[in-house]
Structure 1
């Protein structure tokens, strides 16, 4: 039921007048958090920073959840990339200096999987933002009305479960807005 509510809310966000850039930033940020293994200070810091930036948290959390389901398939690539970065001779003194600082070792930057995930997520952040922003714009311009006016879309909206779920979500949102 929670998964259905998240998907329903995601489509609600896509169909709303929310800024495409904020939605795309949420998707991109969710991918970033999915690529970096959790349980270290780097992931926690990025997670907290997400609450203070202009991004859509729902899209970030849905993307994070879906990303964590499939991340195991690309972990070997991330591990190899991190190992390569950590073994660049020009950076060895810098990484040693970082490791000897008081708090930095808790970021687990010296873990090849963390370093690889962080590096790849930094490389992908802006291209994914542009890609997701374009996808949201195209969805709103070409796909949204077709789905809404299709037989399938009308049939889905007539289902009792969808009607009840829609009512529950509307009630929940109105109560949440009141305070």
Structure 2
């Protein structure tokens, strides 16, 4: 039971002090941001979660970003609705969206929902600035955070003594 409760903390320490590159952490954070921005309960969110788990990125950073942006994304729903309404209202695209909706998995995609498609487009639009900013953050603060975490006995217990000994000196 205690192991089950400490597993997220262990993953957080491993994410911050792990041997993954800042690029992997930034990509994981960016995929998590996109996953967090998209409303859940549709096939798009499931596919994004699958992509996050399938790629060689930092999954802990991705899940933290997904949780963070899931809390923030309802504040962006009015903007997402306007973006989705503008896209779904385009006369040239209405046939394509109707065809997509009539496919076997079409209703599960959620492309007929203005907030879903608007959130996806907004997340894709801000994905590069999010990647670039998180890359700079992990390059700058990743190694000092790893050294700071490795100094504490709790980190040695949670991540393993041999792992913490690597950063001692």
TM-score grouping bracket, smaller chain normalisation: 0.7 to 0.9
Secondary structure of the corresponding residue to residue 32 of structure 1 = helix
Higher alpha-carbon deviation: 128-137 or 107-116: 128-137
Shift of 1:67: 1.5
Query: Within 5 A, what are the aligned runs for 1:120-159?
Result: 120-140=122-142, 144=144, 148=148, 157=152
In 2, Cα distance between equivalents of 1:127 and 1:70: 17
Indicate which of 13, 21, 31 corresponds to 2:23.
21
In 1, Cα distance between equivalents of 2:52 and 2:82: 27
Higher alpha-carbon deviation: 56-65 or 118-127: 118-127
RMSD: 2.9
Give the TM-score normalised by structure 2.
0.79
Shift of 1:12: 4.0
In 2, Cα distance between equivalents of 1:46 and 1:66: 16
In 1, Cα distance between equivalents of 2:142 and 2:51: 29
User: 2:33 touches 2:66 (CA, 8 Å); kept in 1?
Assistant: yes
Indicate which of 113, 116, 119 corresponds to 2:115.
113
Count of aligned pairs between the two proteins: 159
User: 1:22 touches 1:56 (CA, 8 Å); kept in 2?
Assistant: yes
Indicate which of 31, 34, 48 corresponds to 1:32.
34
User: 1:6 touches 1:62 (CA, 8 Å); kept in 2?
Assistant: no
Indicate which of 143, 158, 163 corresponds to 1:169.
158
In 2, Cα distance between equivalents of 1:7 and 1:72: 27
Indicate which of 27, 45, 48 corresponds to 2:47.
45
Matched, 1:95 2:97: yes
Secondary structure of the corresponding residue to residue 126 of structure 2 = helix
Secondary structure of the corresponding residue to residue 74 of structure 1 = helix
The runs of 5 or more residues in structure 1 that have no matched partner are 158-162, 175-179
In 2, Cα distance between equivalents of 1:16 and 1:67: 23
The runs of 5 or more residues in structure 2 that have no matched partner are 164-169
Give the TM-score normalised by structure 1.
0.75
